[in-house]
Structure 1
Amino acid sequence: MRYIILMGFCLLLSSMAANAQKKAKLSDEQLLDLVQQQTFRYFWDFAHPVSGMARERSNQAAYGDEVVTTGGTGFGVMAIVVATEHKWITRTAAAERLLKMVNFLRKADSYHGVFPHWLNGNTGKTIPFSRKDDGADLVETSFLLQGLLCARQYFDANDPLEKELRDKINATWQETEWDWFTQGGQQVLYWHWSPNNGWSMNHEIRGWNECLITYVLAAAAPRYAVSPEVYHHGWVNNIYFRNDREFYGIKLPLGLDYGGPLFFSQYSFLGLDPRGLKDRYANYWEQNLRHTLINREHCIRNPKGFKGYSGDCWGLTASDTYDGYNAHSPENDWGTISPTAALSAFPYTPAYSMQALKHFYYTLGDKIWSQYGFTDAFNETKQWYATSHLAIDQGPIVIMIENYRSGLLWKLFMSCPEVKQGLNKLGFETVAATKK
């Protein structure tokens, strides 16, 4: 009981401190610093104590307290790199935490080198994501490895700690059997495989969506790589890949009508630099920019008349909502705004994202600002404000604000020799633009 009272008191003090911070008028740079640093705390202060991995969410859910997330941990790794660069934590503390994670992963359940969506943070055993999804998750593993490769490039010192970290990241990366997930040599990647259920999920990874990074890493792999044909015949061969229609007067090269949820233009591009990135199918900077502008324009026009929508208050993506969880988009709009959507779009729409950030912080901060940054979502029509945080939503805020400010994660990921070779193998041009 004394422990519970003490924890409650600590949370009250943290909330009071957060509110005190919020009242101060800050410069744009100070506000970006504050949002990045406070959001980073989700991955540092709230990490699982045994594994060091990112917890799936901050609020207790039906699956219990021990669940940690593979993809969200990859985002957390990148957030730790950002925190190290800003000196919010020491380089040694960061490397030690990352080595703790990698050591845990080296002993955790994996299937042909691919991790499940969820692990038990104490034991490393698989926690099923659904009844048949109880084995490998290739996309979540891609997000994890995107982060680990950035860490490998950043922690480049010639000392025992950082060398051990690099060596173990390399071993984990090299052991990932990408080619297994072609299900016997088909020209497409499959998302899941389970020792209990085999290929019964039968989920082909086809574009356009958040999974481009999976194909890039599969082509770049030092062992078990896939051929370019898997990309050109698998990822691209989908009725939802090309679009080339206009929405709100903005032409969209790829993907679903109106672009789908904004995480499509964010998760693969936490490390993969879209500036100047082209292949025979698209200019990926233009794709992501136009997707973002369509999403914002939908919120401005607000065809369903939801409360609060405006040029200051926009951003539809997957998040918690008043009746559960939903992948929000212009075609699936129920009035819920997710701060991560606009904030993780900072590289594409810096002025519009700053406009949204100031609204979230100064106008709505009393309802959605907390010890881990902004809570997951809100719906003013329903007068609903989340108290939860999700790893996959918090991480991109830290990372994409940093990519806007310095390009740090883009530089690190694109410096990987394997990534350069993989992109070249798939026919990409990678002439990075200069930050404006």
Structure 2
Amino acid sequence: MSYTSQSAFALEPQDLELLKKIQKDSFQYFLVYSDPETGLTLDSSRSGSPASIAATGFALAAISVASTNGWLSYREAYQRIDRTLNTLEHKAAKKNGFFYHFLDPKTGNRAWGSEVSSIDTALLMAGVLIAAASFRGTEIETRARKLYEEVDWPWMLNNTFLFAHGWKPDQGFLPYYWDTYSEHLILQALALGSETHPVPEQVWEEWERRKDSYNGTEIVYSYTGSLFTYQFPHAFIDFRDLNDREVNYATNSEKATVANQEFCALHSAEFESYQQERWGLSACLGPDGYKAYGAEPGTAYHDGTIAVHASIGSIVFTPEASMRMIRTLYDEFGDQLYGRFGFKGSFNLDRNWWANEYLAIDQGLIVLMLENYLHDGAVWMRFMSNPEIERWVKRTNLKSAA
């Protein structure tokens, strides 16, 4: 199940129980912070938060996991997913199959003047396909697949071979494109695998695989160096046996995670947060607002704020280091960080600052990555079983790593 040299690591019984607790507690967010009528999931636990379509995608996947693990009955999981699909079909604001980033949780109307979002629609559709694979032979599978098939992926290219970040009715396409390695690999897979609205194969070739070395290890890196960029696609896609020419993105994420750990260690004299092998630089709420924290290679903006999802979301890549960090977070900082829905988002020891809220996409990442780690890639197997994903692998000539 594990990636490389990490495979020798064995969990202690008490650590296994802790991971199970974190996973189940983190899932509870989706029960409490999803609207009971529409099924749309709030972006965060903060008062007045809108719903987010990425959050809703993670919710669909997490509910499927909950049904498998017995946290919800099959009937309750089915009903919750049915309710959400009904909203996505008939109420939620969208254009050409793409959904607005933020929605009013009660009505499904566009919220916060947000954009029709390419990446957030992709994360929603990843959850939709997990639901389809989890309830095969049912109306949910039929309806979920139809939602995915309605997304007009080529439209978001705006007559280029790169995906735009989004579109707004008053200004058209945003002037930003997914042109380098990032979390948008999930967008690539879904668009290239589509049978109804496929994009040209050139789209896979067009984005740049920028490489740089950190401590002698070459990494295809994201612009910010934030760990979530190396995690989000991997919550769904099993990259272990796929090679993009000479690059294996599973191994690449492991290298980026190790670099994140080493970067924190290097700066531990400057920041108390990074001392005693603490690490985890990723986009999160910090003392001065939401920031795209990261490590080298990349812009590597950091101020001593540690994102809790970073170490948990990396457990499939660096299980030993991740488990050590998770145990530290729980044993040393549990009073400040651990609550009803598991770990809150982030902290900064240097500023004596502790986040007091939960972010849905972090909760979803934690549930899915722990499911992959604890249950032999269970989410991966469901996602990779979709014929559209097999089509993406074939069209992009992703070679087996075996």
Alignment TM-score, normalising by the size of structure 2: 0.92
2:18 matched to 1:27?
A: no
What secondary structure, in the 3-state scheme, does the structure 1 residue paired with 2:272 have? coil
Which residue is 1:141 aligned to? Answer: 121
What secondary structure, in the 3-state scheme, does the structure 2 residue paired with 1:319 have? strand
What secondary structure, in the 3-state scheme, does the structure 1 residue paired with 2:103 have? strand
C-alpha displacement of 1:308? 3.1
Which residue is 2:332 aligned to? Answer: 363
Tell me whether 76-85 or 209-218 shows the greater mean CA deviation. Answer: 76-85
* Correspondence 1:82-161 to 2 at 5 A: 82-107=65-90, 108-128=92-112, 134-156=114-136, 158=137
Distance 1:288 1:360 in 2: 22
- The answer to whether the Cα contact below 8 Å between 2:43 and 2:55 also exists between their aligned partners in 1 is yes
Pair 1:38–1:398, CA change in 2 (3 A): same
Which residue is 1:264 aligned to? Answer: 229
Pair 1:362–1:26, CA change in 2 (3 A): farther
- The answer to whether the Cα contact below 8 Å between 1:219 and 1:228 also exists between their aligned partners in 2 is yes
Which residue is 2:26 aligned to? Answer: 39
Tell me whether 46-55 or 401-410 shows the greater mean CA deviation. Answer: 46-55
Distance 2:246 2:141 in 1: 34
* Correspondence 1:208-287 to 2 at 5 A: 208-233=181-206, 235-236=207-208, 241-243=209-211, 245-256=212-223, 260-280=225-245, 282-287=247-252
Which residue is 1:404 aligned to? Answer: 373
Unaligned runs of 5+ in 1: 1-24
What secondary structure, in the 3-state scheme, does the structure 2 residue paired with 1:47 have? coil
What secondary structure, in the 3-state scheme, does the structure 1 residue paired with 2:274 have? coil
C-alpha displacement of 1:44? 1.4
- The answer to whether the Cα contact below 8 Å between 2:285 and 2:345 also exists between their aligned partners in 1 is yes
- The answer to whether the Cα contact below 8 Å between 1:289 and 1:348 also exists between their aligned partners in 2 is yes
Distance 1:114 1:54 in 2: 17
Length, aligned pairs only: 385
Which residue is 2:155 aligned to? Answer: 180
Distance 2:204 2:122 in 1: 15
2:53 matched to 1:70?
A: yes
2:262 matched to 1:293?
A: no
- The answer to whether the Cα contact below 8 Å between 2:129 and 2:383 also exists between their aligned partners in 1 is yes
Select the residue among 316, 335, 344 that pairs with 1:375.
Answer: 344
Which residue is 1:416 aligned to? Answer: 386
2:322 matched to 1:349?
A: no
Distance 1:69 1:386 in 2: 20
What secondary structure, in the 3-state scheme, does the structure 2 residue paired with 1:27 have? helix
User: Deviations 1:208-235 (Å, cap 9, x if unpaired)?
Assistant: 11101111111111211101012212x2
Distance 1:340 1:367 in 2: 16
Pair 1:80–1:310, CA change in 2 (3 A): farther
Which residue is 1:204 aligned to? Answer: 177
- The answer to whether the Cα contact below 8 Å between 2:268 and 2:274 also exists between their aligned partners in 1 is no
Distance 1:196 1:86 in 2: 45
User: Deviations 1:234-287 (Å, cap 9, x if unpaired)?
Assistant: x23xxxx321x321333213444xx70001111111111121221125111221
Distance 1:284 1:396 in 2: 18
Identity %: 30
Pair 1:59–1:254, CA change in 2 (3 A): closer
Alignment TM-score, normalising by the size of structure 1: 0.85
Distance 2:163 2:32 in 1: 36
- The answer to whether the Cα contact below 8 Å between 2:312 and 2:322 also exists between their aligned partners in 1 is yes
Tell me whether 82-91 or 372-381 shows the greater mean CA deviation. Answer: 82-91
Distance 1:353 1:337 in 2: 13
- The answer to whether the Cα contact below 8 Å between 2:98 and 2:117 also exists between their aligned partners in 1 is yes
Tell me whether 164-173 or 346-355 shows the greater mean CA deviation. Answer: 164-173
Which residue is 1:194 aligned to? Answer: 168
C-alpha displacement of 1:312? 4.2
Select the residue among 266, 274, 278 that pairs with 1:309.
Answer: 274
Structure 1: which 4+ aligned runs deviate by more than 6 Å?
none
Which residue is 1:171 aligned to? Answer: 146
Pair 1:227–1:41, CA change in 2 (3 A): same
C-alpha displacement of 1:26? 6.9
Distance 1:269 1:46 in 2: 24
C-alpha displacement of 1:294? 0.2
Pair 1:363–1:90, CA change in 2 (3 A): same
Whichever of the two has the greater Rg, that structure is 1
C-alpha displacement of 1:195? 2.5
Aligned CA RMSD, in angstroms, stands at: 1.7
C-alpha displacement of 1:429? 2.3
Distance 2:221 2:348 in 1: 29
* Amino acid in the other structure paired with 2:157: T
* Amino acid in the other structure paired with 2:150: E
What secondary structure, in the 3-state scheme, does the structure 2 residue paired with 1:104 have? helix
